[in-house]
A and B are shown apart, each in its own frame.
Chain A
């Protein structure tokens, strides 16, 4: 009975979104140790790294999360791949809830389809392993090859796919440059034949000319293999180049989600406007930037109401007391009282 009722719903889901993130939140306990708390009468300190994060990523789409340090984008990325469990909410991959899958075998199936590329290719590759062993690890872990020879062929193909020479596989990570290491990290991520790759600041540690190589490679791979990306970055120009849709995070919450083109043409949330305004102007249009006052507040005790209100030029009494809900505004979803009330366009 229940199966009959559920089936159409699952089918409907799979057709539009590969990844659905629903009300995802994570609270970290940053209190002092128990003994110190007792002696010093210190209260528990909780840090809300992410709260109420909801978005969906369609197949073959690149969804980007942007925000400054401490905005919670990496925490969301880690929860999406299951590296840290969420406090609230759920991640649904292709209709299957990540955190309700109890069966180990099923979880493995799900994990094969999700991979991650990390920021620092100097830290994410084991320095004692040869490149080919690093890339072969997912193949071995998920049993994707029958024999050693087949593993070797697959590793060779992967190296070629990311623009490296298969003969380089015997080298150790320190023998590669930063860009080449990030290619190895991408090859490893592709080794389990995933559909969905979470990239957490994949080019932040690289020089611009190398960044261009990696971004081009990632787009080529997306076209060839039909990949879906969740792309985390603080660099708005990179995000604009890569993403179809963008979510802007501030102090753990999504303040605006919009198609990339529209967000850059007409940013809605005052924070998005501020971020775009803060990007140095390479086109030398002579545009005068107005640097915004203040800095990101401490997430341990965030401001009341809308967390952005102390820095917002449009804040009023309501913004200081009542947290805005994410409401649709044109093609975007914006959490801002000023937008909802029509105080700003």
Chain B
């Protein structure tokens, strides 16, 4: 078996506050194989963006990685110094964020930003870097790149800006691209273009992708595997087709049912009662148990771990033998 491009083991991120420590994500483990696209879905507050930020070492202080390990091609990166991490970021891990306007510097021409990135991470000369920047802009489908390269970000539309951001992320031929809600700020027609582009580029460059989104449709179209997050943990992870067509975890089932379909005929959407718990009050045992229609004996007391079930892994007592002491405890 080949070494995964990214391997995350038991990752835990904490935010110390005046009222005590909040655990944003806990016991998060997953792998991304070379060339694979892993989708990470969840609702707001599930911890998907924090997971992405933790991998690239961009957790805002006072937040910190309190446990677990992150490996890039087998090499541990969560303990690296700021300087060493900066060399990896942009070079070996590319990033695409939700809002293309805030990820580009409004005071610099996009050519300057691309050339700076290319020169930082490669040994190319100024003119070589400019040639490479032009090639990248052509590749991401910017019309008339030789004139557009000297434009400022505000002269681009939202979709075009996101194309520039993709070009920036791929400038140094990274092994891994972390895309955090790359299409959320865009209109559907443009969204389709960007998804197609992201998919094509990563296949061509052989980059693995961690695609963070709340949109199951985007995942269905793009990802190979998907991890469903709930309240800071992975509830279920498996091949996209299986997770969408035959979800195992009751939360995934509810989530899939609550998405209005373009083809299905239904009068009512499946609704999950209640809302995602706040980080200050994560329920004991399985965090989903107060909202779960299939909650039973062990759920309120014991926290289920992610374990293999069919083609997926699921953290739910419905699929695993639960501790016998559960009956006594309740």
Q: Which residues of A contact B (CB under 8 A)?
A: 68-69, 177-180, 207-213, 215-216, 219, 234-238, 240-241, 264, 274-284, 289, 291-292, 295-296
Q: How far is the CA of A66 from the CA of B138 in the complex (A)?
A: 33
Q: Which of B92-100, B260-268, B296-304 is the contact stretch? A: B260-268
**Do A280 and B217 touch (CB < 8 A)?**
yes
Q: How far is the CA of A278 from the CA of B275 in the complex (A)?
A: 30
**Do A295 and B217 touch (CB < 8 A)?**
no
The answer, yes or no, to whether B258 is at the interface (CB within 8 Å) is yes
**Do B214 and A282 touch (CB < 8 A)?**
no
Query: In the assembled complex, which residues on chain B have CB atoms less than 8 Å from the CB atom of A241?
Result: 260-261, 266, 269
**Do B188 and A278 touch (CB < 8 A)?**
yes
**Do B262 and A276 touch (CB < 8 A)?**
yes
Query: In the assembled complex, which residues on chain B have CB atoms less than 8 Å from the CB atom of A216?
Result: 268-269, 271
**Do A280 and B215 touch (CB < 8 A)?**
yes
Q: Which of B187, B255, B268 lies in contact with A68, CB distance below 8 A?
A: B187
The answer, yes or no, to whether B80 is at the interface (CB within 8 Å) is no
Q: Which of B196, B260, B261, B263 lies in contact with A215, CB distance below 8 A?
A: B260
Interface range on chain B (Cβ under 8 Å from partner): 35 or more
Query: In the assembled complex, which residues on chain A have CB atoms less than 8 Å from the CB atom of B270?
Result: 212
Q: How far is the CA of A216 from the CA of B272 in the complex (A)?
A: 11
Q: Mark B289-308, 1 if CB is under 8 A from A, else 0.
A: 00000000000000000000
The answer, yes or no, to whether B221 is at the interface (CB within 8 Å) is yes
Q: How far is the CA of A275 from the CA of B268 in the complex (A)?
A: 24
Tell which of B43, B160, B270 has the most Cβ of chain A within 10 Å.
Answer: B43
User: Which residues of B (128-186) have their CB < 8 Å from a CB of A?
Assistant: 157-160
**Do B193 and A234 touch (CB < 8 A)?**
no
The answer, yes or no, to whether B244 is at the interface (CB within 8 Å) is yes
Which chain A residue lies CB-closest to B159? A295
Q: How many whole Å from B57's CB to the nearest CB in chain A?
A: 28
Query: In the assembled complex, which residues on chain B have CB atoms less than 8 Å from the CB atom of A264?
Result: 262-263
**Do B268 and A219 touch (CB < 8 A)?**
yes
The answer, yes or no, to whether B124 is at the interface (CB within 8 Å) is no
Q: Which 10 A-B pairs have the closest CB atoms?
A: A280-B217, A212-B258, A207-B43, A241-B260, A68-B187, A212-B269, A278-B192, A237-B260, A291-B193, A291-B192
**Do B43 and A279 touch (CB < 8 A)?**
no
Q: How far is the CA of A274 from the CA of B189 in the complex (A)?
A: 7
Query: In the assembled complex, which residues on chain A have CB atoms less than 8 Å from the CB atom of B260?
Result: 212, 215, 235, 237-238, 240-241
Query: In the assembled complex, which residues on chain B have CB atoms less than 8 Å from the CB atom of A292?
Result: 189, 192-193
Q: How far is the CA of A208 from the CA of B44 in the complex (A)?
A: 10
Query: In the assembled complex, which residues on chain B have CB atoms less than 8 Å from the CB atom of A280?
Result: 191-192, 195, 215, 217-218, 220-221
Q: How far is the CA of A278 from the CA of B189 in the complex (A)?
A: 5
